[in-house]
Amino acid sequence: GRQPLVKVASNALTCPILPHDYFMASVQSEHVERSQNLHGGYFLKAIRVNKHGGPEVLELEDIASPEARTGELLIKVESAGLNYIDTYHRTGLYSVDLPLTLGLEGSGTVEAVGSDVSEFVTGDRVAWAGCTGSYAELLVAPASKVVKIPDGVAFDAAAASMLQGMTVHYLTHSTYPLK
């Protein structure tokens, strides 16, 4: 059968971020082979926004495969976190440059390590927050915004926990320190 390109991780599947069936139908495909582009690189699948609007503006597109540069990691996305801010970006409520690959958090496996990165190696299981482009097969992220996933934690749980974990931390440490 068809397998999703990216698993969806959400802390509340009932929230109106994206209709779950629409999202899963958009990212599912038959066996996807990366085709070579004119510059010798490869294309990958990504869910993109080319104009602001409702869920109908989400498009599954081929985009050029990114490469990790100094201080960055190239990550194969396993799970993309869904958050309300994704709808704000999609609808134009928050100003963003278009076209845009949505998704600010997720989890996956390191495929390549840029120069000057020593804390990660190819094959590490990682999660991130604050890195645009999680609704794609591959993501380039600054190593400073990536953490290793502990053994025993699933990709979808790690992707769904990043932003919520930071929110809990600042609420319990900065807003009102718990004693």
Residue-wise pLDDT for 84-99, tens only, equals 899 999 999 999 999 9
- The verdict on whether omega for the bond into residue 99 sits within 30 degrees of 0, i.e. cis, is yes
CA 49 → CA 34, 57, 156, distances in Å?
21, 6, 23
In this prediction, residue 32 carries a pLDDT of 43
Residue 95 burial (C-beta neighbours within 10 Å; 0-12, 13-18, 19+): exposed
Residue-wise pLDDT for 37-92, tens only, equals 444 556 889 999 999 999 999 999 999 989 999 999 999 999 998 888 999 999 99
Residue-wise pLDDT for 103-141, tens only, equals 999 999 999 999 999 999 999 999 999 999 999 999 999
